[in-house]
A and B are shown apart, each in its own frame.
Chain A
Amino acid sequence: MSEDWRAAWRPVVDAVGGDFGDGEAIEGADAVDASALRRFLEPLEFDCPLHQEGGLAPLSSYFTFVAPPIWQPGGAAVFTSDERDAQPDGVGQRRFLTGLEPPYTGYFAADFELQPLLPVLVGDRLTRTGRKLVGCELKETSVGRGAFMTWEWEARNQRDEVVARFRNTMYVYNGPED
């Protein structure tokens, strides 16, 4: 019985090697601009002139500039509930998931690798392409039972040049029952 949770993850383990991006290029909500860079640097208290004045995006901001909008003009309303902890509709749709996962209650980033290839500058607009599952390690942790799923993907600029390659691991888990 205790190993049933492992069996539920079998389809995901078997899917390792597959690309779940479906050829989709997910455009970031915002272009790289001076205001966005200033906001990004503020909580870090990061005063490097390359970023503050030179228009160079920090590597750590690439995640931000490939983040899709929560809502966009012409789209359906996403803030549809006044429940205190309601999340906007569709918020999890572009997570790093295969669609084969058993029901889960939690999801967080666990590991990360980044190889920058080209500078990202003010005026650039980034998209996320590819979503290849390259690993799935089942593990029981202090927060629940689930899988560390490792993904590879790329960020591209408006000229379709690859600006960075990423490899990140997400822990997808089901918390202990009450």
Chain B
Amino acid sequence: MTAKIYTRLDANSAAAAKGFSDLSIRNLFIIPTIAFLIIFNVFPLLYSLGYSFTDFRASTNAPANFVGLRNYRELLTDPFIWRNFTITAKYVIISVTGQVIVGFGLAMLLNREFPLKGLVTTLLLLPMMLSMAVVGLFWKLLYDPSFGIINYFLGLGKFEWLADPNVALYAIALTDIWMWSPFVMLLSLAGLSAVPKHLYEAAEIDRASSLYTFFRITLPLVAPILMIAIIFRTMEAFKTFDLAYILSSQPNAELIAIRLYKMAFLEWQTGMSSAFAYIVLIMVVAITNIYVKYLNKVKER
């Protein structure tokens, strides 16, 4: 029967005479979406690829001059841009590591039965559903050196979280960890609850130490899902804009996305920023590829 449904993809079949054929329904359902995405995602990117070889500035009426690969050459040899990349790498490592430790830790704690478990889990997930920009805004209130509650409860006096150039990046990462640890927790919890109980029972009979059980049973079985969480968070942390832009304007905390925004929309170096966007794009596509590979791997299990 299934085979028959598939063979009806033939536009001249008997079924096609009655209403739309399967072939035309398939096209009717799929093509608009593909077309929409091409028009509003691919076409703009091609458009800016063109601009990336020019010295165009959207703020003036001066025509764009073709400059070849000059933008790319300048960007790749600009020490300031490399600094943005270093800062971003540092940010990604701190924030994703923090999220994995806190998130996985929470998942280990939650992976047992207790009253109101569902409610507690949902409440823990709340931060990641909120708007990054607005979260950044109210963390500004919490971080305030004179009346912020963080300094008060930690007894840090007038500690400058956001204005100190050496601290700002860590403060942004801390907020990101608060916001996104629940995401790692959610995925880890799914991995943990999928570990067959009999493995633990067997380990207990063998009197395996809890450390051994963790490294030999729990971790390997949760690893694929945890990996998805890590890659996804890495990609998102790499793109971070909202949170960092709202929280701090410290040059030491200037992530790539912020540099790109300033170059494009405050300095109006349209051509140069288009080239920069392409460099960033290539990196994101690379991470996306790895991500999808893992996604399919987990799906097939």
Q: A and B bound?
A: no
